[in-house]
Structure 1
Amino acid sequence: MKMGIISEEKDWVVNELKKSMEKNGIKPEIIKPSNIISGIGMGFKLKCNDKNLLDLDCAFVRNIGNEVEMFHRFDFLKYLEHYIPLINPLDGIENAGNKYRCSFLMDLKNIPQPRTVVTENIDEALKWVNAFEDCVVKPLFGHQGKGIMRINGGSLISKLNKLTEFKKKYGAFYIQEFVKNPNNVYRDIRAFVVGDEVVSAMYRVSDNWITNIHQNAKPEECEVNDEIEELAIKAKDALGLVYAGVDLIESRDGLKVLEVNATPSWEGLSKISKVNIADRIIEEVVNLLKR
């Protein structure tokens, strides 16, 4: 069996997947998207370093880059997906990567989330920032906590200036009510779902309101209870994913889903997890290929 790992960078996750494949007798092929070549009517469809990508049993999508080149690289993978399974499926990656689409797909499944407003209009944005009193404004497309800002006070002029600068940079506003943790701490929960199981979870604890590991939050053990299990699996399924990192926030009304990551890292989680997550992912995918 041969599995591809599609990534511009050989990061920690790529190495973990590679090690797990080798341990399970699977030949890994590292595929750099910038080295993919596609031919139409040329006797080949998609290859990388002279290797035919259609010969793979499946391929993991890790990182195709962030610049303008990512658009045709994504189309390369759309073409490839007609011939081999991609993990995660591209529709699922698109669903998770667009915060608004992620939100409405979960809403259709009645999955609890913080109250959210999406608009391009600055007057509407200002109206809802005032209505929420304490909120987080996020780009529709983004990751690792980059570009987000919290607005919880200040003059109308100050709020308007912040929103104007945000609009110039990102075009649209994804405004989410800030949920205060009932334990009076800055933390959220990252639940890692593989198939129909939450294989591991952690609290991400910070000394400020941004609780992302890439923004210096610390991982702490979190017991997987029924509420975490049910919500995280529902969110993963709503987006059409094989595995996912689901971010949950504690509230007085129970857990709410903040975001779903379709290409999650588990480097921080691995420091406290009792499970080898890469092994579980590979096991799940091998079982899927046998069905």
Structure 2
Amino acid sequence: MSGNGLRVAIFADETGWHTRRLQAALRARGALGRCVDLADCRIDTTAAWHGLVIPGFGRELPDAALVRGIAGGSFEQVTKRLGVLHALRALGVPVYNDARAIERSVDKSATSLLLHAAGLPTPPTWAIESPVEAQRLVMRESAAGHALVLKPLFGSQGKGLQLVGLVDGEHRPLPALDAGYGRLAYLQRRVPALAEPGFDWRVLVVGGRAVAAMRRVSTHWVHNVAQGARCLPAALEPALARLAEDAAAALELDYAGVDIIPAPGAAPLQVLEVNGVAAWQGLQRVTPFDIAQALVDDLLQRRVAAGAARRRA
């Protein structure tokens, strides 16, 4: 399906390389992409029949929306921003990824639970509000010879990660959870590196199909590109692609960046995280595959076209 003059809202909290790539891909299909910050959108039931104000779209709704980023804020602010996405979907606008999928992926505990429920290999994970119970868990895991990774529930780019439990032969207790963790312990058993330097894979899934992958290599135990990891090309081996596709399907994501790590034992590949607002600049550097064009093509050909077919039926 061509864009045919469609107007697409690119929801992003900042403009730059990613938004320019998406706009160019939309232009190549005859569509217009307009960048909008969800913080600037508002609910106004006097403004139009639908009750939304999307800057740049007047009294009309966009023909589709592509979510590139949602700015952080207070609980109330983020709830309103997600509410705009929920409302667009309810009003028949294809939202890619929609608010429900983003909520599942941005909450690491929900991601872990859904991966586990789908029977996918993922490290043992806990989300505990009681500091006492969390500290007891860390002590039990440490006594069993395990290190745990403490992560902010809503964190990204490898920020705020800490090792606790048995680390380099010594017990490391759980820190205070007030600053940066929202008084919640989200803990994932660390998968030991099988080689030096260590690495994991980032696999991009678009429309249910794994389309590109890279290895993220680092001498540090955190393998995020934002923390200095090197991006290397990686072949999409069948087992790697299948696991990434199953992880994206478990969270019902239109597109996803799936982080997979090699592991010892019976499950040689394990899913660490699934990102529903995935950046792909590092991946694009090591693959000739045009990622922005793939995202736009899937949005137009699968989501927008399907919506048009339903309206004609």
Change (3 A) 1:168 1:37: closer
Q: Given the alignment of the two structures, is residue 278 of structure 1 paired with residue 286 of structure 2, yes or no?
A: no
Match of residue 177 from structure 2: 166
Whole-angstrom CA distance in 2 between matches of 1:37 and 1:127 = 45
Q: Deviations over 1:169-194 (max 9, x none)?
A: 42111111110122343211000000
Of 168, 190, 193, the match for 1:178: 190
The equivalent residue for 2:27 is 22
CA 123–280 in structure 1, closer or farther in 2 if over 3 Å, else same: same
Alignment counterpart, residue 63 of structure 1, candidates 69, 72, 89: 69
Distance 1:222 1:50 in 2: 40
Determine which of 187, 195, 205 is the counterpart of 2:207.
Answer: 195
Give, in angstroms, the shift of residue 146 of structure 1.
1.2
Q: Stretches of 4+ moved more than 4 A in 1?
A: none
- CA shift, 1:33, in A, is 2.0
Question: Does 1:243 find its partner at 2:255?
Answer: yes
Alignment TM-score, normalising by the size of structure 1: 0.92
- Tell me how far 1:5 sits from its aligned partner: 0.1
Q: Is structure 2 residue 90 aligned with structure 1 residue 82?
A: yes
Give 1:29 deviation, angstroms: 1.6
Shift of 1:120: 1.4
Counterparts in 2 of 1:54 and 1:109: CA distance versus 1, 3 Å: farther
- Please tell me whether the aligned partners of residues 89 and 240 of structure 1 are also in contact (alpha carbons under 8 angstroms): no
Alpha-carbon separation, structure 2, partners of 1:138 and 1:246 = 17
Shift of 1:111: 0.6
CA RMSD of the aligned region, Å? 1.8
Map residues 111-122 of structure 1 onto 2, 5 A cutoff.
111-122=120-131
Cα deviation code 1:103-155 (max 9, x no counterpart)? 11111110100111221122322222233331101121111111110123387
1:224 partner letter:
L
Partners of 1:76 and 1:8 in 2: CA distance: 14
- 1:53 shift after superposition: 6.9
Aligned counterpart, 1:8: 13
For the structure 1 residues 268 and 58, does the alpha-carbon distance in structure 2 shift closer, same or farther, using more than 3 Å as the test? same
Taking the aligned partners of 2:170 and 2:237, their CA distance within structure 1 comes to: 42
Deviations 1:27-83, CA, capped at 9 Å, x for gaps: 112212232232214434222335247432210112221012322222222222212
Report the equivalent of 2:310: none
> Does the 8 Å contact 1:46/1:52 carry over to 2?
no
Q: How many residues align?
A: 287
Unaligned runs of 5+ in 1: none
Residues 43 and 274 (structure 1 numbering): CA distance in 2 closer, same or farther, change over 3 Å?
A: closer
Helix, strand or coil: the match of 1:96? helix
In structure 2, what is the Cα distance between the partners aligned to 1:193 and 1:155?
39
